[in-house]
Structure 1
Amino acid sequence: MGTTPRYALWLLLTVAGLASPNLLAQEQALPAFSKMTSLADGWEPLEFPNIEQHSRYELVSESGSQVVKAQTSGGASGLITRLNINPEGSLILSWRWKVSNVFDKGNAREKSGDDYPARIYVAFEFQPSKAGFFERAKRKTVEMLFGEELPGNALNYIWANTLPEGEFITNPYTDKTVMVAVSSGSERAGEWVSIERDIIADYREAFGENPPPIRGIAIMSDSDNTGEQATAWYGDITLTFAKNLAKPD
C-alpha cells in the first residue's frame, strides 16, 4: 500500500459504506449543525490509520447560532454524513465558514502543502464501465481485502493559501480528486464567508462528464503535512435540488 495517496484510501473506504435509501427532496438540508444536540446526530468521525493526532470538532455558539468549531494542530480527521443522491438538473451546495488563518506552508499543487484550514469533500459513486482494466483490478483487490466497494471521483472545496479563487487543480496525490478553491488567502480570515456551488457544473468542469450518484459529504480541517495550526468554523450545509423544467410550447 506504499503507493496509496495520503489517507485517501481510508476516506474512500469510509465514505463507501455511506448509503441511505432516502431520496433527495426538492430542498434538503444535511443534518444541521445549528439543530444538533450532539455531533453524532447524522455525522460520524472520520479518522485515518497511522495518524494518531486528530483534529478536534465541537458544537459551539457563534454570533447567536450553533456551528461546528474545528481545531487542527499537525493532525488530521474529519466528520462525514451519509448520502445517496442521484444528481439531476442543478444541485446547489451552500454553506458558510470561517477560518482563523491560512497555512504559510500550504500549497495545493504539492504533496507537502496539501493541508487546508477548512475543506468540504464530495464523494461520487465509482463507475466501473468507464474505468480501465488495471483500475478495475486494483479496486477489486481492495474490495476483497476490505470487503467494501470503493467510490470513484471526488470534489474538494477548499480554503486555499495562494491558489486563486475559482481555480480547479488535480490533487497532488490522486487524479481522482479535483481541488476547487472557493476561498483563498488571509484577506477574509476571521470573518464568515458564504459559498454556493453547483455540484453538477463543477463535476463536469473537473471530469468532463455528468456526475454519478453522490455517496457522501465530509468536512475536514487538516495540517498533518505542514504541521501548522488553525481553527475553522462550519455553519449549516444545505443541498438544493432543481430539475430542468421544460419550456411551454
Structure 2
Amino acid sequence: MCKWIFVLLNFLLCVSAQAVTNLTALSEQGIEQWQAKEFSGKSIYSVEQYKGQMALKAISQNSASGLVLEKKIDLIATPYLNWSWLVEQTLSPLDERSKAGDDFVARVYVVIDGGFMVWNTKSLNYVWSSNQDKGLVWNNAFAGSSVKMMSVRGQQSQRGQWYEEQRNVYQDLIDTFGDKGSQKANRKAYQYIDIIAIMTDTDNSGKDAETYYGDIIFTEK
C-alpha cells in the first residue's frame, strides 16, 4: 500500500510541476482580462454552461469583432496550445481564401508583435473552415504572407460536437513562416508570442454564426 501511495504522490507532484497557463479560466470569469477588438460590427461574447462544460459563446451577425489578450508566452517553456470548440452554425459556401470570403465561424490565433518594425509582425490563425478540408495552410487574403491561416477543422467536421485541440505553436510557426536554419535562429524568431485572440466573424459574407470556445491553455506537453 505504501508503495502505491508513494507512486501516486510522485505522479501528482509531476503533474503539478508541469508549466500550465490557463488564459481564460472560464469557470472563474477569467475572460474579463481580455479586451474587445472591433473590426466591422460587434460580435457578442458571453460565458455560459453549454453541453457539459463552461464555454465562451460567440454570436456573429454580419460582424467582425474579437477578444484579445496581450500576454507574452514563452513557447520554449509552454509550446502547446490547448483548447476546445463547438460550432452550431456554419457559413454557406464561400471562398475563404478571397477577401469576399475571409470569414470564419471560429478562430484562435497568436501574434508575434514586430513593434516599430511592423513588417516583422506575424500571426498564425487556427481556424474552423466551413468550406475547406482540414489541415490546409494559406496566406490571409487581406494581410498576405504575414498572416497564415491553418484549417484545424474543416468542412467534414460535425456541428454541435465538442472537439479538443492541441497544437505545438512553436513548431507550427517554424513550419508556416519558415525554418531559420538553426535552433538559435528559430528561437530568436519564434520563442515568444505577444498576443492571443479569439474571433468569430461574418462581416464579409454577411452571414450569421454561433460558436462556443472552451478554455485556452498553454502547456509544456
Shift in Å at residue 127 of structure 1? 8.0
Query: Which structure 2 residue ranges, 5 or more long, are not aligned?
Result: 1-17, 180-185
Report the Cα offset of residue 195 of structure 1. 0.8
Q: Structure 2 CA distance, aligned partners of 1:182 and 1:64?
A: 22
| Counterpart among 15, 34, 41 of residue 27 in structure 2 | 34
1:9-24 matches, cutoff 5 A: none
Number of equivalenced pairs: 194
What does residue 234 of structure 1 align with?
A: 213
1:105: how far off? 3.7
| SS of structure 2 residue aligned to 1:47 | strand
1:67, distance to aligned residue in structure 2 (A): 1.0
1:107 aligns with 2:107: no
**Partner residue, 1:73:** 61
| Residue number in structure 2 paired with 1:177 | 147
SS of 1:203 mapped into structure 2: helix
Q: Which residue of the partner structure matches residue 183 of structure 2?
A: none
Alignment of 1:157 with 2:121, yes or no, is no
Match of 1:82 in 2: 70
Residue pair 2:76, 2:191 contacting (<8 A) in 1 also: no
Partner of 2:160: 190
Q: 1:219 offset after TM fit, Å?
A: 0.4
Taking structure 1 as the reference length, the TM-score comes to 0.72
State the secondary structure of the residue aligned to 2:134: coil
Match of 1:168 in 2: 137
Distance 1:205 1:127, change over 3 A: farther
Report 1:128-147 matches (<5 A). Answer: 136=117, 139=118
Show structure 1 runs of 4+ deviating over 4 A: none
CA contact (8 A) 2:170 2:191 kept: no
User: Over aligned residue pairs, what C-alpha RMSD do you find?
Assistant: 2.1
* Percent identity of equivalent pairs: 30
Instruction: Tell me how far apart the structure 2 counterparts of residues 56 and 120 of structure 1 sit (CA, whole Å).
Output: 16
Gaps of 5+ in 1: 1-24, 129-135, 140-149, 243-249
